[in-house]
Amino acid sequence: MNDIKERIAAELLAVRDRSLAYTEAEDDLLVRQHSPLMSPLVWDLAHVGNYEELWVLRAAAGIEPIRPEIDDIYDAFKHPRKDRPTLPLLGPAEARRYIEGVRGRVLDVLDAIDLEGADPLHRDGFVFGLVIQHEHQHDETMLATLQLSGQPGLVREGDLPQGRTGGPEEMYVPAGPFMMGTATLAWAYDNERPAHQVDLPAYWIDRLPVGNRAYAAFIEEGGYDDPRWWSAEGWQWRQRSGVSAPLFWVRDGDGWWRRRFGRTEPVPMDEPVQHVSWYEADAYARWAGKRLPTEAEWEKACGWDPRARRARRYPWGEEAPDPARANLGHRAARPAPLGAYPAGASAYGAEQMVGDVWEWTGSWFQPYPGFRAFPYKEYSEVFFGQEYRVLRGGSWAADPAAVRTTFRNWDYPIRRQIFTGFRCARSELV
Ligand code: AVJ
Ligand code: FE
């Protein structure tokens, strides 16, 4: 096997180890629905195998279906999450057997495939990148499910670097064009293409994500009760939901506590805030005299190298993420403290743009000019419009395989179970 094939095999193994680790629990925990927002864990487990069967075995290799009768159950578009516990799902043991059977054949396909072939699914191992990133994204979703369930067990206390205080609050990004999206990253999704030039006026972007201390000040100063800070829709949501703090926060006397995978602990004031909706992020930004960055502003501040006039794969350059540069891959079950990654700074000096928390942007999830769906419309295209807001950067729970400066994630503006925070921006005063 050549280097690329070995790398693919290693990534396939790593993501499967991860999925199995998240589903080691007793059957009852796996088949139960912990929240109507989420699938039972055993659905995600078999779904990633079914997706792998559909794309690698059937679409890329032309192999006959193994279990066509279960396709319907694991088609995310046929059954909303809230209905999934009522489906005749494979049980945990059967799901594990099924995905292992698929995986065995996938490794045979990998052995035989021509990565320089004409088929765009084969070329550069695209179809393997597709299933690896897909499974990692479901693993992150499973972590959110487990966090909602309140179960202990997934708190990993990997070493995170210390935070660092001082330094500028905002970084200046001068006016000028940059290239948004990618023309060169082989495993990028269709929604990251094509690369296109975007010319932005000058702006300021926060060096760091908004922290819990600043967010708590917004709460203390009545931010949740003042419609001035909220969009019309956001205020409606605020009224209807009764929300008055990030999800999983509990007030105790004068202090704030949070629930994290079954533990209750004081809110660490020096961490980026997470579990806030887009509406809360938007309101905070207005209270702070700022706004959310547009998606283009976010990407330029993160990935553009103005000296070399080219985009970087990661804020710091091309080298793969490591523990000194970003908090990714569920090494610890939390964001790192603010200022922990000076070595992970972007060319413009913005920090913690990759890892720690996903960041809400001010933009709707829309196609780039010249977008072409590949390999299927249901990955990105059906979500374009004015329903979903773009999230960028990846959280502590995102794997490096599914993180890069051009990677786009999206969700409904009311969602809070995801590992999401934000940073602010503002236009240059003229
Ligand atoms: C890109 C995270 C919004 O979880 O709905 C998983 C990824 N697509 N299976 C999602 C995805 C198909 C997607 N997000
Ligand atoms: Fe999926």
Dump the DSSP string for 27-77. Answer: HHHHHS-S-TTS--HHHHHHHHHHHHIIIIIIIIT-PPPS-GGGTTTT-TT
pLDDT tens for 135-176 read 999 999 999 999 999 888 778 888 899 999 999 999 999 999
Question: Would you say the CB of residue 50 lies under 6 angstroms from ligand 1?
Answer: no
Residue 92: asked if its preceding bond is cis (omega within 30°), the reply is: no
Whether residue 328 contacts residue 314, with contact meaning beta carbons closer than 8 Å, is answered with no
| End-to-end Cα separation, the chain, in angstroms | 59
143 CA → ligand 2 middle, Å? 15
75 CA → ligand 2 middle, Å? 8
Question: Would you say the CB of residue 409 lies under 6 angstroms from ligand 1?
Answer: yes
CA 360 to centroid of chain Cα atoms:
10
Dihedral (CA of 317, 410, 42, 61) sign: negative
Question: Would you say the CB of residue 134 lies under 6 angstroms from ligand 1?
Answer: yes
Measured from the alpha carbon of residue 410, the closest ligand is 1
Question: Would you say the CB of residue 316 lies under 6 angstroms from ligand 1?
Answer: no
Nearest residue to 284 (alpha-carbon basis) of 246, 339, 240, 341: 246
Domain at 158-429, CATH from 3.90.1580.10, 1.10.357.10, 3.40.50.360, 3.20.20.80: 3.90.1580.10
388 CA → ligand 2 middle, Å? 17
83 is in an annotated binding site: yes
50 CA → ligand 2 middle, Å? 9
Question: Cα separation of 358 and 416, whole Å?
Answer: 11
Whether residue 416 contacts residue 241, with contact meaning beta carbons closer than 8 Å, is answered with no
Neighbouring residues of 319: CB distance < 8 A, sequence distance ≥ 6: none
Question: Cα separation of 206 and 172, whole Å?
Answer: 9
Domain at 1-149, CATH from 1.10.357, 1.10.3470, 1.20.120, 3.40.50: 1.20.120
Question: Would you say the CB of residue 39 lies under 6 angstroms from ligand 1?
Answer: no
Nearest residue to 350 (alpha-carbon basis) of 425, 418, 410, 403: 425
The minimum-distance atom of ligand 1 relative to the CA of 410 is 3
165 CA → ligand 1 middle, Å? 35
Question: Cα separation of 188 and 130, whole Å?
Answer: 9
> pLDDT digit of tens for each residue in the chain (430 aa)?
689 999 999 999 999 999 999 999 999 999 999 999 999 999 999 999 999 999 999 999 999 999 999 999 999 999 999 998 899 999 999 999 999 999 999 999 999 999 998 999 999 999 999 999 999 999 999 999 999 998 887 788 888 999 999 999 999 999 999 999 999 999 999 999 999 999 999 999 999 999 999 999 999 999 999 999 999 999 999 999 999 999 999 999 889 999 999 899 999 999 999 999 999 999 999 999 999 999 999 999 999 999 999 999 999 999 999 999 999 999 999 999 999 999 999 999 999 999 999 999 999 999 999 999 999 999 999 999 999 999 999 999 999 999 999 999 999 999 999 999 999 999 987 6
| Domain layout of the chain by residue ranges | 1-149, 158-429
Q: Angle 206-304-394 (CA atoms, 0-180°, nearest 5)?
A: 60
Whether residue 379 contacts residue 373, with contact meaning beta carbons closer than 8 Å, is answered with yes
Rg, the chain, Cα only: 21
Measured from the alpha carbon of residue 358, the closest ligand is 1
Q: What is the pTM of this model?
A: 0.97
Query: Helix %, strand %, coil % for the chain, to 5?
Result: 35, 15, 50
- The ipTM (two decimal places) reads 0.99
Question: Cα separation of 22 and 236, whole Å?
Answer: 36
CA atoms within 13 A on the CB side of 76: 15
